Amino acid sequence: MSSIFMQAFVRPLSIIYPMAKRWLHRFHGGVFPKTYKSLSLKHPIRSTVIPEKLILPVKQLTGQKIAWHVAIGDTVQKNQCLISAAKENKKGIIVPIHAPTSGVIHAIEMMSLPHPSGLSALSIIIKPDLKDTALNNVLNVSGKVPETPQQLKDILLNAGIVGLGGAGFPTFAKLPNQTGIINTLIINGAECEPFITCDNLLMQTQAQDILNGAIMVAQTLGIPSIICGIEENKPTAIQAMNAAAATLLKNTPNLSITIQTLPAVYPMGGEKQLIKELTGIEVPAKTHAIDSGLLVFNVATFAAIFKAITLGEPLTQRLVTIAGLGLKHSYNTNALIGTPFLTLAKAGEPIHPIQTPLIMGGPMMGFQVADNQVPVIKTTNCILVQPPEPATETIVMPCIRCGECMDACPVNLLPQQMFWHSQAHEFEKVEKLNVFDCIECGCCSYVCPSHIPLVQFYRHAKSEIKHIHAEQQAAELAKQRHEFRLARIEREKQEREARIKAKKAAVKKQASEAEKPSGASSAKSAAIKAAAARAAAKRATQQGSEQNVNEISPPPLSARQKAIETAKKQAAAKVGSKVAPNKDPRTSAKQAAKKAAAMAAAKRRTQTNHENNSDATSKIDSKQAMNDKRKQAMETAKKRAAERKARKAEQEPPK
Amino acid sequence: MEEWFISITAAILIFVGLAIVFGLLLGYAAVRFKVEGNPMAEQIDKILPQTQCGQCTFPGCKPYAEALAKGETEVNLCIPGGTDTMILISEITGLEPKEVEVTEAEHKPKETAFIDEDVCIGCVLCIKACPVDAILGATKLMHTVIQSECTGCDKCAPVCPVDCIDMRAPPVSLENWQWPEPTIKSEGEAK
């Protein structure tokens, strides 16, 4: 092809113009750092060392519950499941953790994480018993290729497989639910970071496993073609993969497998860069490779998938490069997940005692860990041990707008513009310059003649922008809630007023009714008449007795007799009141009115309560519905307010 | 004589006609494209932090925005918003920018209210004070704050009779951790 001609042309040219090498690959920019790969490539893969303790951090996310299958003091076997996502989680992004070796759960406590923040997380600490007794086929697989994508996803979830290239996104969540969506499966064998050789060695030693894993995924998801991209500086790996592909292709005639040699440029291993290089497709911003019909996994991920499907073996160890200029013997090893960094680093015989922080990842994208005892996690591909830095600090010079970073950016961004705006805290402008498409590869910082830590600025800007968005959302929510509250208070006030009004109206009505005697109250009036007659008779007898007293003057009544008399009178009065309870028609009317008003109010209350209840139930349905309800309520409240205003305006004509 | 008269009347008629036409057009436009409410107030309301804290002496963010739109108040009263908000307000309203009085609150991480549930007596005073209904509870029953809804306005803390509410910054977790801003030592500063 023309590439041979191009290479012949570029090679001599690159001596006087090094960046001519950028013409050999299809994506924009890129840099050519010294690789140092031979340091760790010289030695064969070292056998697994079981450390004194294994630290397994448990990823915790708000709103995601974890099901614990072990407690402190339990004895666990290799491959035993320690935690998994609780069943009540709607979408599980928590992948299970399995015991990397047999031993005792020593503690479950907060331990420092291999994360740039240096934060701690709850971790399971296992004291290995060094017997390494294992449970076989813990995933209960048949060893056959899964029939549906869902079956494959279940296996990958239960095996705890995440993207081993570096991002660590759960692999099962990346897979589509239907067959036929993906047309190309890409095996990412481009290991572009300096020092790192673990993928290279994996391809050399387990090429069959990698390709078998890829074929299984392709068969399950109905993918017709597999492309594996490997950089030209890994000739042994290319050879091994080609040999494996040749033997495997005989068994799968309807599948095409291509092993493609790529130019060695950093960051070839970036997902979108590799896609562009292999297929010419530029995955649009804010979309994923899957939206373009592509699925990309790292070689290590495919090897893990193969082991999970055929052996039912969960992900408990991975190939890690321990390299750096600070080591006498850089090497690769199959490290158990949870092995402390320092244990692995010491095995490489450091030239100087390790006092500076170790680096997880390569020199371009890696970060310093806060504590050298942090464990190897599933995404740890390299532990970099660099010699102590010279005391003279590299002085950051001002940006001279040379544009080198812009030429180097593999995503076609404008790093110098983003830098200016980040420095000035104009995060809106940084966002407009698509800072979220930045893959933080570090090419811009690498080429910067002023040694400006550009990527640090973009990382900071990204977190700030996220924070600003979260605050805006919170403000919007607070506004809605405040307005809803105001509307509710207004509504309650109106309801109270309406209740009082209704009460008053009811009282008036009752009073007017009581004044007119009606057929129904004839019995009452008869009773009143009878009571009146009785009272008159009593008065008459009293008068008579008084007269008698005056006339005959009987002997004075004893105190006892007097008491009897008064008791009798009281009883009579009681009976009278029972017969004619409504001595005062006005009070009875008042009582009746009160009752009626209370009834009406109660009815209204139950009605509103009912409405509220129905509101509440529908709220539970979904947040969207709740928002709609809220909006509706707001709307009605607004309308009501508008009506009220209009009424007021009518009542009080402007002067 | 007649020509002159005709030309003058024609001119007058044309202008009167034009005046009527444009008057009608303007009158129609005023009815058809009438803007409900004050657009400036809404614009200001959008940039206010919506804590509803009332530190501006207005009962909420919206009343302050409305007062600002009418030009009845100062631009520097929003304390949670700080200087950034003040500058935005002055840009919208065209009012003179002024120093925000309390600057110590600026760039302070957002705090939310926490109720010490052992001490709470269930008096519902804080529930009434909360502008966003973020406190749950009932009379003589324990109260608690819905953390995701709390705006950190600090209105509930002073009304508590047993002083069981305090404002706390959320703990730093992997989810809200931020990359620090790189500090650059330029050559001039290094010397």
Instruction: Give B190's pLDDT tier (boundaries 50, 70, 90).
Output: very low
Task: Name the average pLDDT for chain A.
Answer: 83
Q: Which chain B residue lies closest to A476 (C-alpha atoms)?
A: B50
pLDDT given for residue B173 in this prediction: 82
Q: Is A331 helix (H, G, I), strand (E, B) or coil?
A: strand
For residue B62, the chain A residues in CB contact (below 8 A) are 479, 482-483
Distance separating alpha carbons of residues A295 and A562, to the nearest angstrom:
111
Q: How far, in Å, CA of A52 to CA of A241, rounded?
A: 36
Contact A171, A156 (CB under 8 A): yes
CA dihedral B123, B127, B130, B132 (to 10 degrees): 170
Q: Which domain holds residue A22?
A: 1-30
Q: Which residue of chain B is at minimal alpha-carbon distance from A489?
A: B128
- The residue that leads in pLDDT, B23 or A166, is B23
Residues of chain A contacting B179 with CB distance shorter than 8 Å: 116, 456, 459-460, 462-463
A182 in any annotated domain = yes
What residue ranges of chain A have pLDDT lower than 70?
1-2, 89-92, 390-393, 516-526, 540-560, 562-563, 566-567, 571-631, 633-634, 637, 641, 644-655
In whole angstroms, give the CA distance from residue B69 to residue B66.
5
β partners of residue A186: A227, A296
Both A303 and A439 in one domain: the answer is: no
Same-domain pairing of A491 and A605: yes
Same domain for A416 and A282, yes or no, is: no
Domain boundary, last residue among A280, A313, A346? A313
pLDDT at B185: 57
Give me the interface pTM, i.e. the ipTM: 0.76
Q: Which of A453, A457, A479 sits opposite B50 (nearest CB)?
A: A479
Which residue spans of chain B are classified as CATH 1.10.15.40?
Answer: 39-93
The count of domains in chain A is 3
Query: Is the same domain home to A487 and A590?
Result: yes
- What dihedral angle (degrees, nearest 10) is formed by the CA atoms of A383, A387, A391, A396? -50
**Does a structural domain hold residue A594?**
yes
Q: Provide the percentage of residues in chain B whose pLDDT is more than 70.
A: 91
Give the pLDDT confidence of A270-329 residue by residue, as tens digits. 999 999 999 999 999 888 999 999 999 999 999 999 999 999 999 999 999 999 998 999
Per the domain annotation, does A298 fall within a domain? Answer: yes
Within a domain: residue A200? Answer: yes
What residue ranges in B27-143 does DSSP mark as E strands? 112-115, 135-136
* CATH, residue A255: 3.40.50.11540
Distance from CA of B9 to the nearest CA of A (A): 41
Same domain, A308 and A450: no
Question: Which chain B residues are Cβ-neighbours of A484 within 8 angstroms?
Answer: 133
- pTM for the whole structure: 0.74
Query: What is the average pLDDT value for chain B, to the nearest integer?
Result: 84
- Please give the pLDDT value at position A421: 94
Among the candidates A279, A313, A347, a domain finishes at A313
Q: Does a structural domain hold residue A342?
A: no
* Closest CA in chain B for residue A452: B184
Same domain for A304 and A199: yes
Domain final residue pick, A297, A313, A329: A313
Where does CATH 3.30.70.20 sit in chain B? 112-168
Q: The CATH number of B112-168 is which of 3.10.20.30, 3.30.70.20, 3.30.1330.40, 3.40.50.300?
A: 3.30.70.20
- Taking domain B39-93, whether its CATH number is 3.50.90.10 is answered by no
Question: Tens digits of per-residue pLDDT, A415-448?
Answer: 999 999 999 999 999 999 999 999 999 999 999 9
**Which of A94, A396, A427 best probes binding to B when mutated, by most B CB atoms within 10 angstroms?**
A396
Segment holding A562, helix H or strand E? helix A559-579
Between the CA of residue B85 and those of A9, A482, B43, B150, what are the distances in Å? 58, 20, 12, 20
